[in-house]
Structure 1
Amino acid sequence: MNTYSEQKETIAAIDVRDGESKRIDCPFCFGRYTFTITKKDGKTFWNCYKASCTAKGQDHTGYGLEAAKARINGRSTEVKRRSLPLPSIVSNPRHHIYVMQYLEKVNCLDALSNHWLDIKLDPARNRVLFYMNDGLGAVGRSVNDSKPKWLSYGDTTGALFVKPDNKHCVVVEDAASACSVARLDDITGVALLGTNMSAVQQQQILQYHTVTIVLDKDASRKAIKLASQLRSSATVSTISIRFTKEDLKYLSKDEVWDLLQA
């Protein structure tokens, strides 16, 4: 087990730019792609997702030149997701019973059957891929509960959209939840792929007439912050927030509808 001071020494040797996030092999337990390190607003954050590894912490490392300029101008540096290359070999989910069972469990079969977005299997890492940005990027969900749950591939700039051509969008955290809410008529599912909204995502969401933000009750402050970011624009007619203790991807269509109408 490494002490906190030893962790900081190791972290200091990893090259991370201001506003960048990297996913790499853990330098402490050597787990493959289990370690993330992010540098933002003068601080460095690190964490290993492997249950047996205790590597986790943050350190005030100061501002680089660009981050200092952004701070002077009142801007927060935007974190870029670190992505793996898109896999060269993918498989049709219909060829794998366990993948179809997963997609049924998280209410993504409609999205697959109706081609609302491209869904494949990365057989090398055993992850269901939800494609975005016209196939240039994807997020991959583990189907065997390996850590981390999600990985990014290729270009994951912006949000992931399911059935984008509607006037009402529902903003959620993950791709499967976006597929779940998109089962409702005239609803676009928008996945932030986290609980923070980047400037690019904000501009994308502002194209919609009505926006509903649905997050876990534990993320209430995040939801309020997201809504305030969007309310600064006159292009959105209605912005509302819904909180839930339930996981959206496991709710029936009627349950999702009841939540949105609450």
Structure 2
Amino acid sequence: MAVSVCAGFWLKRHESVLEILQFYRKRDYSEPEVENYNYSGVGMEIFFTFLMSVIVFQIMIPISLYISMELVRVGQAYFMIRDDKMYDETSNARFQCRALNINEDLGQIKYLFSDKTGTLTKNKMEFKYASIFGVDYSGEKSNFEGEQRGYCIQVYEQVWRPKMKVEVDKELLQLSKTGTNTKAGKQIYDFFLALAACNTIVPIVVDTSNPAEKLVDYQGESPDEQALVYAAAAYGFMLMERTSGHVVIDIQGERQR
């Protein structure tokens, strides 16, 4: 661009002698009747100068340099992926480099912001205890032995069960089976019904090695909602289906929409 601007000033300054210059002559003296020979005007000459500058200056940066830089980035990505300090044993996963054009930007990072809740809990939410209408079901007043509850339902000839098991309180589990016959049962019923219905979780049925058994995997953006829905399923309020218009919940063997 700078060369084009300078060429424009030069043409304006030497416009009077362009007729005798080799590349800008306005007249061919061998053919006097031909005017503007080999001359396209100041504007077009500036444009042609810009195109010539692009062709001339591109050899200053060799094309092999781009290939060399890409190979260097690939090598950096390899060393980052193989770094044992960035290996997570719990998930058996290594560092993943998904873009090669941001390696050099990593050294410019000064501040790293992280959600303190996810940092402390590692985004692993588990349902432990509940307080329903002022009653604390934390195991202090009940015989809580940390039983692993795997609630399941019968769908045609298959058994559906939640993918994740949850520790349940035996007293709360017994009261959840009473339905709405008692005041406490009605309160517990409403509590777990709200946990199963009031969320954005989408249930996904996953196949297992046993054709007669299916696992229901609850997918959602919030791990809090996942933990609450798995807890509701463990106490007999199992979310089965969610669409844009309705949800289907199996409540102690009875499906409600």
Q: Is TM more than 0.5 here?
A: no
User: 1 or 2, which has the higher strand percentage?
Assistant: 1
The structure richer in helix per residue is: 2
TM-score by length of 1: 0.22
Larger Rg: 2
